[in-house]
Structures are given as structure tokens and as C-alpha cells.
């Protein structure tokens, strides 16, 4: 096992004294569960070959998107890479429009032009994503710059993977954000892999957040499997951004259970130890939080059952919506090449 769960390196933000109200805690739990169930449903139907789109599921990493977005206003803007589903849903993106996009329908959130790697919903601040690794990082910094110069109220959050920090553009964007003290939070979801390539063949053994820190950006590494840790760290960073104190960098460590793309676990192929996946499943963001909430009597079996039911019905009707929606026509091809 190359990358065991290693809490020693994490900075802790959430103290057990902090008291959140039940509604908030339930909301976090529900959002993670909802993302998990949606991803599972996508995975279970992917073999039907009707979602003709490359998918990058977020199972195992739900806590980062949910914890971060819980610290945001609806007007704040989120940006991400190819692994879009979690951020899109946590930011409040329309599920039906997402499913339509995956099913290549005209009413998809990108009108079937973007596919799974280009989900967005500008009405809730899910502003943009890019299928080019690190491609949306400069975009996010530019939006933060606009906010600062125009004295807009929104801040930006840039979600990126560990491999995105190998692209020079990330360091260029980080430098600019630090130089101008822009209202932005970088969330680096470190899951140790870039497709099948482990961190060790891509970066020397130095922590990613330490590098960001050296650029003058307050940076931490946190336990990305714990939604309250993520939330607390994000709150601090969001506060910093909103107050004009500049950017922050959060390295959130969590693990993806399934393959880089597609719907199955490909660990057996040899690039990682299947035991590593099992190991991380023991630190599953949802069951960990479940146990925590139950131990604190904040969640009951009945409530969970009810939740599952509601989510199930929402998911089914979103799939139904997508499947029964029309495909775009040829006339779509040449529209919006230019904006008016």
C-alpha cells in the first residue's frame, strides 16, 4: 500500500466543541449522500451505453465539494476540472440539467455541447469547468480579479487535482492571485493519482501545500474525508478572501474508489493495490460522518431512511427526465460560435 490514510500530517480545523445545529449537519450529510447515490446510479447504468460521455466519478471524495460549498454563498463562483459532478451538485447545480447533459440531450446544462467534463450552472455560481487539466485555474483567478476590481461581493473557489499542480499555469495563476491578494480559495483535491500515475512518479516527496505556502499563500493540508474539517478550513479561507486578505490554498486529502474514468474499480489492473482502496473505504466520508452524527444523536435511522427515499425518487425522476428529453438538432452546430 503506497498511500495509507495518515492523519498525522493534517491540520485540524474543526474542534469538537464547535456546535452546529442539527439542520446544518443533516444538510451536509444529505448532500454527500445525494452525490453518492447519483454517482452510483450513473455507474450502474453506464454500461447501457446511453450516457455517451466520459465520466469521472467522485465516490470517496464527496466531502470536499460538500464541505467547501457549504461555506459559500450562492453568488460565489466555483470552477473545476474534469471531475465535475461533486462540485456541480454541491454548488446547487440542477440535477436534471446535469443528467440531460450526460445523456447528450438538448436541455443538458451545456445543450449537449460540453458533456460530463463541462457541467456548469451559472444561476447558482457553478461558473465553469475545463477538460484540460489546470485549464480552469487561470479562469477562476480572472473572475476573482474582476470581483476585486469591481468591488463585487462574490469570491471564487478553484477546484483542482494533485496533477494540476504540475502544470505551470497553476503557479502562474497562484503568483498572480498572491500578488494582487485576490478573493479566491484554491482547493487541491489530492487523491494521489493522475489517471493511473501515482504521485511518486510525478512529484518529488514534498507536500503540495508547502509549495503553495512558499508563494505567500496561506496553505494547509486537511483530512478530506471529514466534511466538518473541510467546512471549517474552507470557512476560514472564504472569510479571508471575503475580507480582502487574499487567497488561500487547501490541500484536501481523500481517495477515489473507482477508476479514474468510467464506472468500475480498475485497481486489479495493477496500478494500485486493491487493499489500498479497501483501506480508504474504512475512512469513507459518508459512513464516518454517519457514525459521528449517530453518536451525537443528530441523526436517526428513520431520518436516514426518509432521506434515502427522497433522494432515490429525485434521482429516478432526473434520469427519467433526461432519457425522455429530445436530442439537439443539426441547426445547433453553428450557433454561439460567436457571441452577439
Ligand X SMILES: Cc1ncc(C[n+]2csc(CCOP(=O)(O)OP(=O)(O)O)c2C)c(N)n1
Contact 112, 104 (CB under 8 A): yes
Nearest to 113 by CA among 336, 340, 338, 339: 336
Residue 83 interacting partner from Mg ion, ligand X, other proteins, none (CB closer than 5 to 8 Å by kind): ligand X
Touching a copy of itself, residues 157-186 (CB under 8 A): 166-172, 175, 178-179
- Give the shortest CB-289-to-Mg ion separation in angstroms: 22
Q: Pull the grid cell for residue 119.
A: 457541467
Query: Is 139 a binder of ligand X (CB under 6 A)?
Result: no
Query: Is 283 a binder of ligand X (CB under 6 A)?
Result: no
CA R_g for the chain? 19
Touching a copy of itself, residues 254-313 (CB under 8 A): none
DSSP 122: G
- Give the shortest CB-191-to-Mg ion separation in angstroms: 4
Select from 11-19, 161-169, 216-224, 316-324 the region that touches ligand X (CB under 6 A).
161-169
Query: Is 39 a binder of ligand X (CB under 6 A)?
Result: no
Query: Is 211 a binder of a copy of itself (CB under 8 A)?
Result: yes
End-to-end CA separation in angstroms for the chain? 54
Q: Compare residues 61 and 139 and give the one whose CB is closer to Mg ion.
A: 61
- CB-CB neighbours of 196 under 10 Å: 13
Nearest to 193 by CA among 261, 286, 275: 261
Query: What are the C-alpha distances in Å from 138 to residues 173, 203, 206?
Result: 5, 22, 24
Among 16, 19, 150, 302, binds other proteins (CB under 8 A): 150
Number of residues binding to ligand X, judged by CB under 6 A: 15
Contacts by residues 126-129 (CB-CB < 8 Å, ≥ 24 positions apart): 126/78, 126/87, 126/88, 126/91, 126/92, 126/93, 127/77, 127/78, 127/79, 127/156, 128/79, 129/79, 129/80, 129/81, 129/82, 129/84, 129/87, 129/88
Select from 192-200, 211-219, 244-252, 267-275 the region that touches ligand X (CB under 6 A).
192-200
Query: Is 226 a binder of other proteins (CB under 8 A)?
Result: no
Among 25, 87, 134, 188, binds other proteins (CB under 8 A): 134
- Give the shortest CB-193-to-a copy of itself separation in angstroms: 16
What binding mask, one character per residue, do residues 304-333 give for other proteins by CB under 8 A, x or -? Answer: -----------------------xx-x-xx
DSSP 243: T
Interface contacts to a copy of itself, rule CB under 8 A: 166-172, 175, 178-179, 201-206, 210-211, 213-216
Amino acid at each position: 500500500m503506497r498511500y495509507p490514510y495518515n492523519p498525522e500530517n493534517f491540520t485540524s480545523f474543526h474542534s469538537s466543541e464547535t456546535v452546529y445545529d442539527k439542520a446544518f449537519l443533516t444538510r451536509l450529510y444529505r448532500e454527500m449522500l445525494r452525490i453518492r447515490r447519483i454517482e452510483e446510479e450513473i455507474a450502474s447504468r453506464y454500461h447501457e451505453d446511453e450516457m455517451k460521455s466520459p465520466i469521472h466519478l467522485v465516490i470517496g471524495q464527496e466531502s470536499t465539494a460538500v464541505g467547501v460549498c457549504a461555506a459559500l454563498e450562492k453568488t460565489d463562483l466555483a470552477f473545476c476540472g474534469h471531475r465535475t459532478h461533486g462540485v456541480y451538485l454541491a454548488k446547487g447545480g440542477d440535477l436534471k440539467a446535469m443528467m440531460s447533459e450526460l445523456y447528450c440531450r438538448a436541455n443538458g446544462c451545456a445543450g449537449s455541447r460540453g458533456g460530463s467534463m463541462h457541467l456548469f450552472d451559472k444561476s447558482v455560481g457553478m461558473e465553469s469547468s475545463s477538460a484540460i487539466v489546470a485549464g480552469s485555474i487561470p479562469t477562476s483567478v480572472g473572475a476573482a480579479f474582476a470581483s476585486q476590481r469591481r468591488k463585487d461581493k462574490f469570491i471564487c473557489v478553484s477546484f483542482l487535482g494533485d496533477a494540476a499542480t504540475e502544470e505551470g499555469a497553476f503557479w502562474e495563476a497562484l503568483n498572480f492571485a498572491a500578488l494582487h491578494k485576490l478573493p479566491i480559495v484554491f482547493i487541491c483535491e489530492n487523491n494521489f493519482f493522475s489517471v493511473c500515475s501515482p504521485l511518486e512518479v510525478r512529484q518529488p516527496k514534498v507536500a503540495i501545500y508547502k509549495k503553495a505556502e512558499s508563494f505567500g499563500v496561506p496553505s494547509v493540508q486537511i483530512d478530506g474525508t471529514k466534511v466538518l474539517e473541510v467546512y471549517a478550513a474552507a470557512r476560514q479561507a472564504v472569510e479571508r478572501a471575503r475580507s480582502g486578505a487574499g487567497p488561500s490554498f487547501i490541500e484536501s486529502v481523500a481517495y477515489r474508489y473507482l477508476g479514474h474514468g468510467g464506472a468500475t474499480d480498475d485497481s486489479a489492473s495493477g496500478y494500485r493495490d486493491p487493499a489500498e482502496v479497501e483501506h480508504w473505504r474504512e475512512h469513507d466520508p459518508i459512513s464516518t460522518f454517519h457514525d459521528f452524527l449517530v453518536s451525537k444523536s443528530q441523526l436517526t435511522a428513520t431520518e436516514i431512511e426518509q432521506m434515502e427515499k427522497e433522494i432515490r425518487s429525485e434521482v429516478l425522476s432526473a434520469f427519467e427526465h433526461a432519457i425522455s428529453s429530445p436530442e439537439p438538432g443539426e441547426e445547433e452546430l453553428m450557433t454561439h460560435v460567436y457571441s452577439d
